[in-house]
Structure 1
């Protein structure tokens, strides 16, 4: 077999690339003012949340449903980043351990049911809300999918919400040419003079005389005048103006008694039965609704994402339905489109509260929908993540929220760091005693690997929520051996080339690299594949160990290719190494003692 030939290399440029990489990562740390890594639950403490399932009949939930809830919560937690959070099942309860103190957002994310219902509106009424709420919190607009609904002449989706003047006793709103729901105040006919006589606002002179003439009789006779009788309105039917067709009487009675102005009555977190009609409030308390059974539920959603649609400035949440959900969504929007207001609205209900109730102005058979409503980037992203990672099949109550101390973890960390330091010192001593001058390259390679590893952990912590825990520490300590193994393979190959090929050091460095890098890449590839498989099949601390091992394997490749090899190429130009000084580790006497042994220990490299 033909022997590899040496190639002209430019070690200076390669080292500059490595320097640029280190400076870029260091600059990122400075710009973000992140100088220390984030710590995991066992090192920095955190919060443990115990969730207890709640079922409609108070029975124990089926095992498969509880397992599905565990998987969904785990996906949600991992969706926030590499946080090293743990989700475990204990009996019928689910225990979630979240690193850090005061993780209210994460607790809210994993504990909410996020069960989305799409229900047709059967009745709607504006409620009295506090003045500051009405002025400071404008009612959100809502629209179906831009691909399924046609816009109004102004280019925006028409609002389906009743106006503030609508009441239960008011006439049913009519639909304007643009599809907007108008209140009775805008559509009522102008009163005519031919109806029943109305009292004049300015009495005439003759009327005044008659009124004064009858004053004495009015004092002696306690008979109410017509105007006095008109001031006492007759009792109104609470269902006046409401199309009660198809509405469950019990739900209608609940709707009439519902006071959405009081936040306690809005039903936040209520587990509504999707197979029954439901009386619900708007999330800001401005409207109350009678809602039909849910035709589409959260499990029918395929994906959800947050963003700003092109040509608009407000944040929204886009939904894509599964094949079954797409058909049900098309049927629901078609039914609402053919109905009269307010039944041409479809309410989006999340955890028992109406987020928005869009006016369907055309059927939407495409299986896509869009939720808008004065979202901020944070609220839109949070809702999209809740829906993206699935709707929990159960409602959970937080039975306990405890703070976890890091005392035990700190003691273990101290012991782990001491063990890692002892191992590092032993590796350095071995390299200096056995390889002498080349041992300096090994020590500097470990230093460069440490710098890249530290900066990577810090940057990942502040950008991907990576938290350093004890399993990660173990993986990083193991990486010392991975890095040391790589440059040992290279050193031994250089010695073999110089002994057998009678080459100069500069030529041996290049020829040995061609064969050594193959062995290094194969070994690192096997290690990286093992880390990937372990990461996706394991959970908790084992997955953390696998992530650290995979990260350090990639760093080892970077160090060997961008530092070890080019640095040795530079040292080969120095007389100290080129002439084989006894302290260089490349002297003739040492190579004659180790050449044969080195050759027989790595036969697969030939």
Structure 2
């Protein structure tokens, strides 16, 4: 039974590649006009310069700072910087006593603050919430307490405290609580300064001194909204501080949970008990085993208290970043913080909870702008090296494959354009920055990409030596070459992935560009090089094996081939090509034997012409 083969349509993959390139260009042009995109990639610290911050770590326990503590601090700072979207930052230890943080370009104030934060993350119970302005107890009117919209629970849906009727709602009640005149609620000793607090939520923590501090604290003053080691407070005593945005001030009980007990935190959309996804942003919080036990006891106690003492404050670097109320006992260590979160606010809170437990506080020794360590000159030299490599590969391709070498050059140009556009888009969308090791990865990729073309072309030449016509040789050569190309690129991609996750600093930049260009190599070979070869195989110049096409069967040492029904196809040499001398009809010769036979045939031809003359 006769079989039919599906005819390949080379135009379709070429159109797909063209649409991909046009889409990237259109995205960049639109981003430059209506957003903050640039038509060139952002450069890393070694090529552009940036900001350098030198931090001196100070142990919160007063002990000497160990190398292990500094290493842990560097790891967490690196995670914070990466999570903030800044790529190619350099974070190193200096002399075993300082931490040097180099941020490329002009980092935002939020990023700089994230680096400098001591990040002592703790959970304290809320005793009192008050308006941010200072309070004069002799004033006639009492300022009402602002509310906190966040809630926490397994499936919390309620909002936070909504007014002064639910609990300690006025500054006058602050004074009453401090002197034991309030109703106290569950677990209160209600006896003022002389009483021993029964639990962290006991209003006995609110001493007269603490009340005075709360009344005098002005959270509208920006100076009081700067966190630091001096604002962390005594973990075993009551504490007065501001909300990080300055909208409220808090009197808090002692620390119940420290940041190192937080296992993980993530933000996302709320999922109901029935599995439905809502549009409400929440932050999911997980504790380790010890944190789970403590948090279960804490939520059980807070659930029975009135507002605002049914809230716990999440305090980062001495400022309250969130104060959700407890809606249910949480025995499994998995809490869901809900409220009027925006996407950015939920992501920020999750990031702070994830990376908020540094073992040290920091003193900023210096902060200064630094120039590029390599600068434009080194970048130009790197690009020049890449251009020279590209030219050498092109010359080799033209010498080895003649006209077919132009396919190699065109493929490399398209691959370079696609790599440039991809890196530029990543710089805009993901904050990626190109470093000198990244440039080295791009240069190495020239050889990887050219290797794929060589494998493909050599397979085609092997098929031509077997006596197949060019169209059949392209099909058969592609079916064999693509397996080799896929295997080779898979190894390169695997090496790049392993190197990226195991390395740090500039080496990751090299691994990233190496992996990216490996993927681009596959795209180019499948969507450009092979379709172009299919189109060229239909052109007379290549199909008939012109001597300058690089696909002349006679120059390749093609042999006769049995084609069925007792017929043998002999290769037809191109016009003007020297006739190779075969060892016998149908005999197979090595490359060296074929070249020797060609030289001998050319010599005999020259001698014959001399005799005729």
Residue matched to 1:537 = 502
Structure 1's 372 and 401: CA in aligned 2 closer, same or farther, altered over 3 A?
farther
Aligned equivalents of 1:266, 1:439: Cα separation in 2:
65
* Cα deviation code 1:363-406 (max 9, x no counterpart): 23242334467655434322321222352111112211121212
Q: Within the alignment, does 1:298 sit opposite 2:232 as a pair?
A: no
User: Which structure's relative contact order is higher, taking Cα pairs within 8 Å and 6+ residues apart?
Assistant: 1
Residue matched to 1:64 = 68
Shift, 1:249, TM fit: 8.8
Q: Within the alignment, does 1:111 sit opposite 2:66 as a pair?
A: no
Of 274, 278, 282, the match for 2:242:
282
TM-score (norm 2): 0.77
Report if aligned partners of 1:486, 1:560 keep a CA contact under 8 Å in 2: yes
Of 546, 550, 563, the match for 2:515:
550
Show the 5 A alignment for 1:461-500.
461-500=427-466
Shift, 1:243, TM fit: 9.4
Structure 1's 365 and 407: CA in aligned 2 closer, same or farther, altered over 3 A?
closer
Most deviating of 484-493 and 158-167: 158-167
Show the 5 A alignment for 1:508-519.
508-519=473-484
Structure 1's 374 and 54: CA in aligned 2 closer, same or farther, altered over 3 A?
farther
Structure 1's 143 and 312: CA in aligned 2 closer, same or farther, altered over 3 A?
farther
Residue matched to 1:162 = 168
* Cα deviation code 1:441-500 (max 9, x no counterpart): 111101110111011011111111111111111110111111111101111111110112
Aligned equivalents of 1:569, 1:563: Cα separation in 2:
10
Aligned equivalents of 2:296, 2:206: Cα separation in 1:
26
Residue matched to 1:268 = 227
Of 537, 544, 549, the match for 1:572:
537
Name the SS for the 2:486 alignment partner: helix
Structure 1's 453 and 587: CA in aligned 2 closer, same or farther, altered over 3 A?
same
Aligned equivalents of 2:307, 2:435: Cα separation in 1:
57
Report if aligned partners of 2:441, 2:513 keep a CA contact under 8 Å in 1: yes
Of 399, 406, 426, the match for 1:460:
426
* Cα deviation code 1:554-597 (max 9, x no counterpart): 11111111111111011000000000111111113431299944
Report if aligned partners of 1:308, 1:314 keep a CA contact under 8 Å in 2: yes
Residue matched to 1:221 = none
Aligned equivalents of 1:170, 1:278: Cα separation in 2:
17
Report if aligned partners of 1:168, 1:241 keep a CA contact under 8 Å in 2: no
Structure 1's 397 and 355: CA in aligned 2 closer, same or farther, altered over 3 A?
same
Report if aligned partners of 1:300, 1:324 keep a CA contact under 8 Å in 2: yes
Structure 1's 120 and 57: CA in aligned 2 closer, same or farther, altered over 3 A?
closer
Most deviating of 381-390 and 515-524: 381-390
* Cα deviation code 1:3-37 (max 9, x no counterpart): xx986322111212211221222222122123111
Shift, 1:338, TM fit: 3.6
Q: Within the alignment, does 1:89 sit opposite 2:97 as a pair?
A: no
Residue matched to 1:22 = 21
Residue matched to 1:39 = 43
Residue matched to 1:521 = 486
TM-score (norm 1): 0.78
Aligned equivalents of 2:366, 2:46: Cα separation in 1:
19
Shift, 1:266, TM fit: 6.7
Aligned equivalents of 1:288, 1:17: Cα separation in 2:
59
Where in structure 2 are there 5+ consecutive unaligned residues?
Answer: 33-37, 272-276, 558-579, 581-587, 595-613
Of 207, 222, 237, the match for 1:252:
207
Shift, 1:39, TM fit: 1.0
**What is the total number of aligned residue pairs between the two structures?**
527
Residue matched to 1:504 = 469
Structure 1's 298 and 142: CA in aligned 2 closer, same or farther, altered over 3 A?
farther
Of 307, 326, 329, the match for 1:363:
329
Structure 1's 397 and 380: CA in aligned 2 closer, same or farther, altered over 3 A?
farther
Report if aligned partners of 2:192, 2:207 keep a CA contact under 8 Å in 1: no
Most deviating of 433-442 and 309-318: 309-318
Where in structure 1 are there 5+ consecutive unaligned residues?
Answer: 180-238, 601-606
Report if aligned partners of 1:47, 1:103 keep a CA contact under 8 Å in 2: no
Structure 1's 376 and 248: CA in aligned 2 closer, same or farther, altered over 3 A?
closer
